[in-house]
Amino acid sequence: MIPTEGLHKAFESRVRLGIMSALAVNDMLDFNSLKDYLDITDGNLASHIKALEKEKFIGVEKSFVGKKPNTRYFMTSTGKKAFKSHLDALEKFLESNRKH
C-alpha cells in the first residue's frame, strides 16, 4: 500500500527533498551552498527553487555583499509543516510495511 495522505507532491523530486532537508537544519543558505550540497546545475536548481517558492515552502532574502547581490533561502512555517507531515507520512508508511 502506498500512502498518499500527508505526502506532498512537491516532494516527489529528490532535489526538492534535498533542498528542504538542507534548509531544515540551516537557518539560511545561499544559492551556491545549495548547489554544492546537491551537486546540480544552476538552471536545474533554480527551477526546483521556483517550484518550492510557488508553494510558499521557502522564502527568499535578497541582500548585497559589497556590490555583489546575495540571495539566501529559508524555510517558511508552511514549508516546515509540509515537510514535517511528509516525513511523518514516510515514517508511518515504512512502519506499517514492516508489520506486514
Q: Who's near 65: CB < 8 A, 6+ residues apart?
A: none
Could you say which of 6, 18, 51, 76 contacts other proteins (CB under 8 A)? 18
Could you say which of 47, 50, 61, 94 contacts other proteins (CB under 8 A)? 94
Between the alpha carbon of residue 78 and those of residues 6, 20, 53, 56, 93, the distances in Å are 13, 12, 11, 7, 22
Give 21 or 85: the residue with its C-beta nearer to other proteins: 21
Whole-number minimum distance, CB 27 to other proteins, in Å? 10
- Tell me: does residue 25 bind other proteins (CB under 8 A): yes
User: Which amino acid is located at 66 in the chain?
Assistant: G
Supply angle C-alpha 46, 25, 54, rounded to 5: 35
Whole-number minimum distance, CB 43 to other proteins, in Å? 20
Q: Which of residues 31-60 bind other proteins (CB under 8 A)?
A: 33, 36-37
Three-state DSSP at 74 gives strand
Could you say which of 8, 10, 17, 48 contacts other proteins (CB under 8 A)? 17
